[in-house]
A = this chain, B = another copy of it.
Amino acid sequence: MIRPALDASAISEAVRHGETTVAEVADAFLERIEALEPDVHAFASFKPLQVRLQASLNEGRGLLAGVPVGIKDILDSADHPTQFFSPIYADHQPSRDAHVVTLLRQAGALIMGKTHTTEFAYMRTGPTRNPHDLERTPGSSSAGSAAGMAADFFAVALGTQTAGSLLKPAAYCGLFAFKPSFGLVSLEGVKPLAPSFDTVGWYGRSVRDLGLVARVLIPGFELPEAPRRPLHLGFCRTPRWDQVQPEVAEALEHAVEQLRHAGHQVSELKLPDEFAGVFDDHLIINDCEGARSLAKEFEQHRSLLSPSILAMFDRAAATTWDQETAAKARLAALAPRLNERCQPFDAILAPNCAMLAPLAVDSAENTGPSDFIKFWGAFGWPQVNIPLPRAEGLLPIGLQMIGRFRTDGALLRVAERVAAELLTDRGH
């Protein structure tokens, strides 16, 4: 019997080697879902018979042979409705899969269902709860994918990120996550929000799974050799470090100390004041592009949009064309300077979320700031979340790792070593 807690690499290997069948894998995960879904509410659409049908047709071949996957309901799917958590699209059934969903199927994955998103991947939250504490939010917007991972409903899940939508839920739910460099993964069939930032990313049970999925979703992607020498890491508190709650700050600093004790060099990376405006520039662009992306829904169905979306339209209307142009120009000018400052490091360490997962009841329109995530996402750089080892019963805390633009493979290799060091120290 397959354990739902196995990672995708282990599951697909067991399937390919005939140590288990895809039907057995499907049954194990379906059982888990049927037991916990009534509390977690990860799924926007779930059809167990459809999963069993896929399993019976699955040939047990491919990089993701028999691997159960959850799909954020911001991506189109031919066998489930795609509703974007908006009444405007209630029961809307697309004619074809998003490009990445097809690539998953071609690699042998089992599509377990569509997972809850916030409304159009923006702020209004759905019913999903955090499996670590059902009173708390899993974060947004890739809420169902993250909560479903934490509840062992699937071994891999797709999300998307515009500001903090992939990494924040990874921090709150204690997951490995990877948001690739901007532009590497096809957005065909993915509802746009702010096209300057929109990126498909994914959750996995291990760093090696993050790389496995990268090989499926980024044709031509290859993992380089891991460096064997001690790593040189930059620890960047980012200009808003003062927002980080003491418990989170302490855990991050402890992780940095662990890495130093393991023989790696971790240097403080201080960014000059000119980087303090990145947060606001990201907001300006997100607002203006978001208003353009949802223009047709605003025109025809205004009364069905949430207050947070309408507030975004208000801010966009109050922003001039030249202000948006200037925000884009500032980011473009800062990118090479950030690259230069980060060049000496194998990767950057930074906070992911400033806080622990807040209570769901307080999170209907806001699950907490994404500042430390969007700071790097503004430049399209690849980002990873490493869940810090935590004592039983404590809420998860995430360590963010960042690579320079298009150094995705190297970042995953460095993340693999960092994750191993942090776990080792835990005494496992």
The interface residues of chain B lying within 8 Å CB-to-CB of A288 are: 220
- Residue A262 CB within 8 A of the other chain: no
The interface residues of chain B lying within 8 Å CB-to-CB of A405 are: 325
Mask of A178-190 contacts with B, CB within 8 angstroms, 1/0: 0000011011100
A102–B183 alpha-carbon span in the complex (Å): 26
- Residue A192 CB within 8 A of the other chain: yes
Tell me the chain A residues, 211-226 only, with Cβ under 8 Å from chain B.
218-220, 222
A335–B335 alpha-carbon span in the complex (Å): 13
- Residue A406 CB within 8 A of the other chain: yes
A328–B184 alpha-carbon span in the complex (Å): 12
Copies of this chain, how many?
Answer: 2
- Residue A103 CB within 8 A of the other chain: yes
A332 touches B333 (CB 8 A): no
The verdict on A292 contacting B218 (CB below 8 Å), with A183-B196, A406-B328 known, is yes
A299–B292 alpha-carbon span in the complex (Å): 34
B222 touches A293 (CB 8 A): no
In the assembled complex, how far is the CB of residue A196 from the closest CB belonging to chain B, in whole angstroms? 6
A310–B60 alpha-carbon span in the complex (Å): 28
Tell me the chain A residues, 327-373 only, with Cβ under 8 Å from chain B.
328, 332-333, 335-336
In the assembled complex, how far is the CB of residue A291 from the closest CB belonging to chain B, in whole angstroms? 6
B186 touches A293 (CB 8 A): yes
A106–B300 alpha-carbon span in the complex (Å): 8
Tell me the chain A residues, 29-88 only, with Cβ under 8 Å from chain B.
none
The verdict on A336 contacting B335 (CB below 8 Å), with A95-B94, A296-B103 known, is no
B187 touches A219 (CB 8 A): no
The interface residues of chain B lying within 8 Å CB-to-CB of A333 are: 336
A183–B380 alpha-carbon span in the complex (Å): 15
A188 touches B293 (CB 8 A): yes
The interface residues of chain B lying within 8 Å CB-to-CB of A324 are: 406
B92 touches A293 (CB 8 A): no
The interface residues of chain B lying within 8 Å CB-to-CB of A192 are: 99, 186-188
- Residue A205 CB within 8 A of the other chain: no
Tell me the chain A residues, 101-148 only, with Cβ under 8 Å from chain B.
102-103, 106
B220 touches A289 (CB 8 A): no
> Closest B-chain residue to A295, C-beta based?
B219
Contact of A106 among B191, B299, B317 (CB under 8 A): B299
A296 touches B99 (CB 8 A): yes
A93–B102 alpha-carbon span in the complex (Å): 17
The interface residues of chain B lying within 8 Å CB-to-CB of A409 are: 321
- Residue A254 CB within 8 A of the other chain: no
- Residue A316 CB within 8 A of the other chain: yes
The verdict on A219 contacting B95 (CB below 8 Å), with A103-B296, A296-B106, A328-B406 known, is no
Contact of A289 among B92, B96, B183, B291 (CB under 8 A): B183
A102 touches B188 (CB 8 A): no
Tell me the chain A residues, 303-332 only, with Cβ under 8 Å from chain B.
316-317, 321, 324-325, 328, 332
A195–B199 alpha-carbon span in the complex (Å): 12
A103–B292 alpha-carbon span in the complex (Å): 11
Enumerate 26 A-B pairs (CB-CB under 8 Å) in ascending A order.
A92-B95, A93-B95, A94-B95, A99-B192, A99-B293, A99-B295, A103-B295, A103-B296, A103-B299, A106-B300, A183-B196, A186-B192, A186-B295, A187-B187, A187-B192, A187-B195, A188-B191, A188-B293, A219-B292, A220-B321, A222-B321, A321-B409, A324-B406, A328-B406, A332-B332, A332-B336
